[in-house]
Structure 1
Amino acid sequence: MNRKWRRFFPVLFWMLLCVCIPMKASAANFSLSASDVDGTQRIFRIAMNQSEIPNVYQTLFAVWGDQGGQNDLKWYRADEMMDGSYLCDVPVSNHGETGSYTVHAYVESTDGYLYMMGDTGFQVAEMQQPSYEAYARNVTAANYSASGGSFQVWVQGVQAASGVSQVQIPVWCSADQSDIQWYIADLMSDGSFMAEVSAANHGYHTGRYQVHAYVLENNGTLTFVGSTTQDVSSGFSVSNGNLTVAERGGGSSYQIDLYGASIPGLSGVQFAVWAEQGGQDDLVWYQATPYTDGSFSCTVPISNHGQAGNYNVHAYAVLSNGSVQMLRAATFYVENNLSANVQVANINENTGTFDIFISNVSAPGGVQTVQVPVWHAADQSDIRWYTAQLQSNGTYAVTANVANHNYNSGNYNIHVYVTANGGAMSCVCGTTANIRVSSQPQIQVARIAIPNVRFRCLPRG
């Protein structure tokens, strides 16, 4: 027999024994009451205060209607409130009787003993329906976390004539409601509704939070059903941290780090990065990696953006409720340190070719490609892009051909573009060359004789 059942059987025995033979503990400071929650005699709230039993494992209320004896006996486990009292709501529908009801209160200590603390009762005259279409028997704030700046809102006993579509919870702290946030409560397994409220959604304001509850019925009607408050202190720790950017890989990438961020409900960090040139057309979101020291980091390859100049970084906190909050902003500069020299040699007027040599090529992080656009026409209509090849001596070379430029003679414009491994591309140098074409290829017409073949021309029309 497992431990759970070994503990349950003696407790069950004491429960049955105490219902039949009350063993009331002497309580110097004790109160027990039952009250109608909303005046409809549908829900009765049992409240108990006691100081006799110091080490309480659980508090139980045995409730039954006097009509028919204990045939409707039900046990309810009470919830301990922050002030030390114990509360439990008893739906009359669980018993289905009118008339007088009996309530016995029990406390089970941590050492396994069950004490009957006292008894009370309440009267149900008749089963009444509420005069309004939607209502909730209870709206409470619970499970407040001072360090996290969060609490839960519970809405219990929700009913609506046309059915419940949603339970909406507007919450605010500012007197002008400028920080109001509407929460959609989740339906719990016991039929109640619960919403998680975070001070992060309200500017981390401290003070008294106002909580209202609305029921949205299936017919579209939105009805106010109750309210409560929750005091939020300044006990939670809030820091947006520090954001740094450092060059890595010779300028081909940059490392972004966020240190010292302390945000209640923080589940992750994202960095938004883009180059100023062109607006946010190169915007990329990076998921940061968390580390044991509480920092977050990611590496940004410049090849994802492909340009030099000023860059912007925004750091965002991703909260456990799915919302995001901007923490810090920073900038960094990608140097355009690309350079090279170019010269033209080996001009061959007969073949119309000439060689282009690029030397002293320099790029942070290494060279990815060297491209050479060449053109003669003023409107660049004959432009041709050549890709230079790396030579054994470290230079780059490519051969251009006037055939690719309509066999034009005269000055040719030659530019050199270097693309670094990081993705940045820039025109680094240029030159001109006077290319003379001695002759252009001639189109020769050959006469072909086909023996014994005669052609006849037919008149048109």
Structure 2
Amino acid sequence: MRQTMFIKNFSMVKTMKLFIVACVMSLFLLGSIVGCSNPDMVINSNTSVENNNNNSSNTETDQSEKKAFLFPDIPNRLYILPGFMVSNSGTPTASNSFKVFVKVTDGRPMPRIGFEAYTSYCGTDDLKWYEGTVTSSTTCEATISTANHNTETGDYVIKAYSIDANGKTLIGETYVYICKSLAGNIETSPTTAFIGNTFSVRIRNVTYQYSSNNGGTISKVLFPTWTTQYGQDDLIWHEGTRIPGTNDWTVSISTSTHKSENGEYIIHVYSIDSAGNRTPIGGTSLYIYRNKANSIINEGASIAKSSYKVTAKNVINEGGASISRVLFPTWTEANGQDDLIWHEGTRISGTNDWEFRIQRSEHKNEAGKYITHVYAIDGYGNINCIGASETTITKNFTFDSISYNPVENSNILTVKINNVVNTTGVSSVVFPTWSEVYGQNDIRWYQGTRINQKDWQIQINTIDHIGWVEYCNTGNYLTHIYGNGSVYLGEVKTCINGIAGGAVTHTGNQMIAGSTTFKVKIENVIHKGGKRVAKVYFPTWTENNGQDELLWHEGTKSIFNNDWEVTININQHKNERGQYIIHIYSYDEFGNRSLVGLTTVYVSRDGQRVKLPGDNRIFLVDQGKKRFIGNISIYNSLFVNWNGIIETNDINYLPDGVSIVDSNKTYLAKAYNDYIIYLVDNGVKRLIANQSSYNYYNFGWDKFRVVYPGPELDAFNNMPSVNTIIIGN
């Protein structure tokens, strides 16, 4: 966000001199277009490379005759220490690995052998050391993997050393050529600078050296792309697509994937062959017209002003695109960018000027340096910085310290600022205060009292703040201090010892039919500062319809310990079923409140007929599941009437049960000369436990079938009874 936008140069450091000979068919332009990068601008690819030795031969080949033919840019000499032969497994190769060998030719014992390997592409930036492995009394070898060398293609230089107590001695060199990809021209669309937010890049005729006899193919082409606006902070490796029927590859690039930046885009092109080796095959650039302004004007600010205006003059796009928005991100130098706000400007009618008035109150009324950058967004969504401005508000106030002190055995806190001095005098000091836990919904602006010539203080009564919850380790009160009404001086966090509670339990398990109450208990409620706990409240409500039936139930303290308990009657909560939410607050003897616990209790809906808002489907809640009632006929065969159907979102918490769709499988049955009624339910019979449960389910007393004892009922297995369980965990 700072005004100076550092743009690192991608330097083309090294030009490779590659002649067209034998294996190197045509390496077009690679040095000048995709040369070695500045170390600060190295492109890292996560291309996966799997070692494949299928194309490597273990045949030892003396390279002394072939070197000059394959490597015209390497000095025409081959250093071999007498008594040794250095060779490789074959060159050129399309593999991603190859072997190098040292052979003792004069009968001496095989010494410890090591190999240095690097490519000739960017000097020795990829230099790796390989420890040799002895394979016979006269031979030592190592396997060189291109994955250890940035999967680069081209010339590999391998130096062999013997190692003893005196160090290492060069005994010879060998060279291997990893075949490269070749390519034709690179084209962009558009071809020149433009306005817009997408462009495409095409590279023609991407082929592989010696593909006819070494099996190499092109598996993918990558287009790493970034803008020069902030270096490579927006670098993305775009993967290209082969154009059917050709060896051309193309990619479409959207500015939205590059932070919607405009200006110069740099595109490099790399091919990946079937062995996973990577070859730079070209590069290009394209310019998207930028937004600009003639000047940024700041009208200036002062300690006496509450705001100031910043104006961007004549904001246009170089290519004529429209300007849709101008942003004025602003912050103060104090405490970094903790007060950063992206203000949106307004166009001045009839002009290309944009402005915004910055309110100091939105930036904590801080003194010191105010910094504003200005960004313009064109009609295509592209954005760039068009300027910056600063202004300084001189702080004339000084003070020594801010302190706070709880008044013992009370609900009072004293906040004090010492030795407040201002060159033009101090007429007032204000102390806005609010709770950290609840935001500023309980903010109060306290007018400070001068207690001597330079010290000011206030006393905060915690009862005046609805959100004073807080043990010191979980929440605080914030007090900011302003001199003469608007000059920010400092701030302090204050707290008082709160109340803590232990485990919360409830009797939410298997209450019998007809019960409408459950109990909630919190254990060991104590004041951390040793004060007396005066009251404990259990505010309770259901999730259905928000807090429309919220009640603050007052708890009762145990006579034996510090436990508190309350009995909740669901009749006081509109007899609602479903999820009950209970928070627990304690109050000390001075009226300070602390949140000490919370819990939930699920009140079963078994027996209720329910539906979702806006949905005509009706469900019966049974055994903790919602069962779809499939049609009017089956409904009328079971229930008294259509009254009492509850509309609620609460049933979304319930799992689906077996649907009720067939009156021949689900019906009410009563044995002849017996008072017992069963719910025959999909091949089983369930005893209806009592009259209360029958009525609560709204079953009709004229709906049951009278059956004779014996085969009809005896054929059914007994399953859990129909019983209205009011409370469930």
Higher relative contact order (CA 8 A, sep 6+): 1
When normalised by structure 1's length, the TM-score is 0.35
When normalised by structure 2's length, the TM-score is 0.24
Q: Which has the higher strand share?
A: 1
